[in-house]
Amino acid sequence: MTAIKSKTEYETVIGLEVHAQLKTKTKIFCSCPVDFGAEPNTNVCPVCLGMPGVLPVLNRQVVAYAIKTGLALNCTVTKHCKFDRKQYFYPDLPKNYQISQYDQPICENGYLEVSGKRIEIQRIHMEEDAGKLVHAGSDRLHGSDYSLVDYNRTGTPLIEIVSMPDIRSAEEAKEYAQLLRSILRYLDVCDGNLEEGSMRCDVNVSIRPIGSTTFGTRCEIKNVNSFKSLIRATESEVERQKEIIESGGRIIQETRLFEENSGKTVSMRSKEEAHDYRYFPEPDLVPLEISAQWINEIKETIPELPNQKKLRYPKDYGLNSEEAKVLIEDRNLAEFYEAVIRLGANAKKAANWLIGPVTAYMKEHKTDILNCCMTPKQLADLLGFIEKGAINDNIAKTEILEELLGQGTDSEEIIKQKGLAQITDTSALKEAVKEVLESNPTQLKDLKEGKEKIRGFFVGQVMKKTGGKASPQIVNALIDELIK
């Protein structure tokens, strides 16, 4: 008899640290512009370069954005907080310390509900971004023994949003990060672009046998530049940890780098040589006292958030969750949709048009609703013309929509110019239907025998004859009348 090796089932435990670059005009501690495509070192000054004797001055907007985010994520905004110095030596950090917040973050104890499950948010703190290194290895620097540094990004305001280890799968981590990004975009505090690094996710991953209540040793994964990578990196890290544990090994707490090409994580630095940051209060900045009044003022500026819309759309507009999701993804599209409904359009029809042909147009032309010429009023009018029977659905899609989106010409104008008005004159259509029926005797015989499938053929023929303008309802009624 062979012994059956017992197989342990593992549970994945994930916590996410998300860095979000704030959409301010200037840096967090100096008045240099935040501008991403700029030539290297053109947006720097003595403050962000860490010249001796300079003093940082906090950007009020950064604090406001951090509070706004905290409120949207159900956090408590601290009444009193300060900044700290985090010391480490790396050439992307000209001062040799990063100004961050250590033991008094601006926001704490929030949560985000992801598909009905609550993910706790431990803290949100403000800090400055570092510069960018151009390492040897790029063509121009091949074989060189030095690096080049661009300090434009140095001092760009960041908030770091730290979740509790409440996430249990790679998919859930992705959902959390996507919802978080959507909220940051709705709040208009961050671009949320993972590929370009305006939103960066560090993933803390550990595994433990199912049922265990203690956590395993975790590894932190960096360089996750897309939602797809978030899933791949997490899954491959889970596999790596399983293999180590099952072969009797031990996980070492360390920072690992996700490599896009191999789809694997590789060791960056282990705890033995991990940074000992020696935080201490930043003496160059005074503390913050945040008033209830300021918090209330900021609260007023928070729009209805995507997670709230997601609950409301099915209820108020009769949409299914997939339809709601597509509309909500982009705040401008959601607001456009709501404006169309306020103008009296049918909620379901408006949704179908926006999700279907309008989205297809935007994809094809690589644009978004704000950059299309169509106004909510124009879409509501178009839907009104269809409803009244002035034009049919197909004509609206093929003949009107493109011009509406591309040039913003009113539907009424397009209908007149192109002569698209639906033919609802029964006597005029009767002739056409009669002709079509008579010139297709075989099909007519089938239809008379009750083969309803052939009906579409006749409707199509009448449409062809009338340039697509016939009212399908009337054509159908006439067919019924004439074959009796």
Partner 1 sequence: MITKEQVEHVAKLARLELTNEEKELYTKQLSKILDYIDQLNEVNTKGVEPMTQPIPTVNVMREDIVKKQFERSEMLKNAPHEEYGFFRVPKIGE
Considering beta carbons, is residue 49 or 302 the nearer one to partner 1?
Answer: 49
- Give the whole-angstrom CA distance, residue 305 versus residue 74: 12
How many CB atoms sit inside 10 A of residue 294's CB? 15
**CB of residue 199 to partner 1, shortest distance in Å:** 20
Residues ≥6 apart with Cβ < 8 Å to 305: 72, 183, 186, 187
**CB of residue 91 to partner 1, shortest distance in Å:** 4
**CB of residue 59 to partner 1, shortest distance in Å:** 5
Considering beta carbons, is residue 133 or 373 the nearer one to partner 1?
Answer: 133
- Give the whole-angstrom CA distance, residue 124 versus residue 100: 11
Considering beta carbons, is residue 40 or 165 the nearer one to partner 1?
Answer: 40
Residues ≥6 apart with Cβ < 8 Å to 343: 376, 377, 380
Considering beta carbons, is residue 270 or 320 the nearer one to partner 1?
Answer: 270
**CB of residue 471 to partner 1, shortest distance in Å:** 57
Considering beta carbons, is residue 267 or 398 the nearer one to partner 1?
Answer: 267
Residue 414 near residue 391 (C-beta atoms within 8 A): no
Considering beta carbons, is residue 105 or 376 the nearer one to partner 1?
Answer: 105
**CB of residue 224 to partner 1, shortest distance in Å:** 20
**CB of residue 88 to partner 1, shortest distance in Å:** 8
The DSSP symbol for 239 reads H
Burial class from Cβ neighbours inside 10 Å (0-12, 13-18, 19+) for residue 211 reads: exposed
Q: Which two tokens stand for residue 237?
A: 């890290």
**CB of residue 269 to partner 1, shortest distance in Å:** 10
Contacts 24+ apart (CB under 8 A), 356-361: 357/397, 357/401, 358/401, 358/405, 359/326, 361/401, 361/402, 361/405
Considering beta carbons, is residue 140 or 250 the nearer one to partner 1?
Answer: 140
Longest dimension (CA), the chain: 97
**CB of residue 138 to partner 1, shortest distance in Å:** 11
**Which single residue is written with the structure tokens 């690094």?**
197
**CB of residue 285 to partner 1, shortest distance in Å:** 8
Question: Which helix or strand (DSSP H or E) is residue 359 part of?
Answer: helix 359-364
Considering beta carbons, is residue 147 or 417 the nearer one to partner 1?
Answer: 147
Q: Which two tokens stand for residue 1?
A: 């008899």
Residue 249: CA atoms inside 13 Å, Cβ hemisphere, count? 9
What amino acid occupies position 470? A
Is the C-alpha dihedral spanning 312, 317, 321, 326 positive or negative? Answer: negative
Considering beta carbons, is residue 127 or 381 the nearer one to partner 1?
Answer: 127
**CB of residue 24 to partner 1, shortest distance in Å:** 5
Residue 450: CA atoms inside 13 Å, Cβ hemisphere, count? 0
Beta-bridged to residue 202, according to DSSP, are: 17
Considering beta carbons, is residue 94 or 468 the nearer one to partner 1?
Answer: 94
Where along the sequence are the contacts to partner 1 (CB under 8 A)? 24-26, 31-33, 39-46, 49, 51, 57-63, 82, 87-91, 133-136, 144-151, 275-276, 278, 281, 283, 285-289
Considering beta carbons, is residue 267 or 321 the nearer one to partner 1?
Answer: 267
What amino acid occupies position 438? E
**CB of residue 220 to partner 1, shortest distance in Å:** 17
Computed on alpha carbons and rounded to an integer, the radius of gyration of the chain in Å comes to 30
How many CB atoms sit inside 10 A of residue 362's CB? 18
